[in-house]
Amino acid sequence: MKLCSIASGSSGNCIFAGSDTTSLLIDTGISGKRIEEGLCEIGHTTREVNGILITHEHSDHISGLGVVARRYGIPIYATQGTRQAILNSKSVGEIPTELFVDVQPDTDFVIGDITVSPISISHDAAQPTAYRVRQGRKAMAVMTDLGRFDSYIIENLQNVDLILLEANHDVHMLEAGTYPYYLKQRILGERGHLSNELSGQLLSQVLHDNLKTVILGHLSKENNYEQLAYETVRLEIDLADNPYHAKDFPIHVAKRDMVSDIFEI
């Protein structure tokens, strides 16, 4: 299995995940042109995508969905709440309803040779989910846009070989920044986004000997920067009550506007 971040950040998100025979996109929050170019850069095309997994209906996760879905007729997998919110959104244009496939949190489904597990998350959207994808004994998870984590989230992230995890903001940058008060409270709230510190604390509880890759994603353009997220998460791991150290795992930071390396497990 392999994963590549085509774009990850507060301004747009699109993640490629696949096997030798199955290609998936997790969110399409950038233009169809950028999606096409990003896939081409890693040796794939939008035409070969077998399914689009949508986490929720916010524009930075669906802005390119209408163009891509209409052009190539790709099935769209989303919860009923997310589907309805997308269909009510004017920004993506009209999408044929027959392209939608309803999914349920905690109910696995199969696309090609990949098993997909939707995971409920706390975010201010209709019915948001993260996704864990598995082929045989290999598993990857994309976990962004959650304001908090609990034992349910920790349990669903156990024994993954690769994780792309949100490290959205630095709390001090956000509090001292120019965002209006209501927006700061939204981001900091239980239905907002994970800070660098919380990202490191969550990661510290799911580390294991066979974890091969950690990717920090969905960084805020205004309230974070790559080195700060990287160092803060590493510090939280080193301070945590577990046998691991940050140097034990390769940690990468996904960029907002650049295609990442292809990570294989």
Share of the chain above pLDDT 90, in %: 97
Predicted TM-score of the model (pTM): 0.96
Share of the chain above pLDDT 70, in %: 100
Q: Return mean pLDDT, the chain.
A: 97
pLDDT at residue 90 tops 90: no
pLDDT at residue 91 tops 90: no
d(CA 152, CA 139): 17
Residues 191 and 123: beta-carbon distance below 8 Å: yes
pLDDT at residue 81 tops 90: yes
Query: Can you identify the CATH homologous superfamily of domain 2-258?
Result: Ribonuclease Z/Hydroxyacylglutathione hydrolase-like (3.60.15.10)
Average pLDDT over residues 202-224: 97
The domain limits of the chain are 2-258
| pLDDT, tens only, 108-161 | 999 999 999 999 999 999 999 999 999 999 999 999 999 999 999 999 999 999
Q: Is 28 helix (H, G, I), strand (E, B) or coil?
A: coil
- Strands across the sheet containing 100-103: 100-103, 76-79, 51-53, 23-26, 14-18, 2-7, 263-264
d(CA 19, CA 265): 10
| Residues in CB range of 164: below 8 A, 6 or more apart | 3, 5, 8, 15, 140, 141, 142, 143, 144, 215, 216, 217, 254
Distances (CA, A) of 42 to 200, 258, 265: 29, 12, 16
pLDDT at residue 218 tops 90: yes
As a 3-state breakdown, the chain gives helix, strand, coil percent values, each rounded to 5, of 30, 25, 45
- Strands across the sheet containing 138-143: 109-111, 114-120, 129-135, 138-143, 162-166, 213-217, 251-253
User: What pLDDT is recorded for position 84?
Assistant: 97
Q: Is 127 helix (H, G, I), strand (E, B) or coil?
A: coil
List the one residue out of 61, 119, 138, 73 whose CA is nearest residue 99: 73
List the one residue out of 2, 164, 146, 27 whose CA is nearest residue 86: 27
Residue 222: pLDDT band with limits 50, 70, 90:
very high
| Residues in CB range of 207: below 8 A, 6 or more apart | 237, 242, 244, 248, 249
Residues 78 and 103: beta-carbon distance below 8 Å: yes
